């Protein structure tokens, strides 16, 4: 389920289906709306980079832990964070190229 969440977030990033308020963007001129949207992309990418860094750190802890039910190394679970973050960054970059000013 954790993998589905992070991979789904990456997919939603590309299609623009993440939660957003576009009232400000649509009320501004096209050029200024694009600047606001670009700022939002930068903040979003910063969050995803933070997610990647945290996920890699958590993976370090996961090498020593095993899930109690499935007896699966926890790094496999924690790997969802950096993988989802990397995919989301790539999708955000491609989304900025799809919607130039």
Please write the tens of the pLDDT for every residue from 68-83.
888 888 888 889 999 9
Q: Check residue 20 and give its pLDDT.
A: 65
25 pLDDT above the threshold of 80: no
pLDDT in tens, 26-73: 788 888 888 888 888 888 889 999 999 999 998 888 788 888 888 888
Which alpha helices (DSSP H) does 1-101 contain, by range? 2-15, 23-27, 30-62, 74-78, 80-98
Contact 47, 10 (CB under 8 A): no
């Amino acid at each position: 389920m954790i993998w589905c969440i992070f991979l789904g977030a990456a997919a939603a990033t590309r299609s623009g289906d993440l939660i957003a308020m576009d009232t400000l963007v649509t009320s501004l001129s096209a050029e200024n709306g694009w600047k606001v949207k670009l700022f939002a992309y930068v903040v979003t990418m910063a969050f995803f980079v933070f997610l990647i860094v945290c996920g890699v750190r958590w993976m370090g802890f996961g090498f020593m832990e095993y899930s109690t039910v499935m007896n699966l190394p926890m790094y496999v679970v924690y790997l969802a964070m950096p993988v989802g973050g990397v995919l989301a960054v790539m999708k955000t970059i491609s989304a900025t190229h799809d919607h130039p000013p």
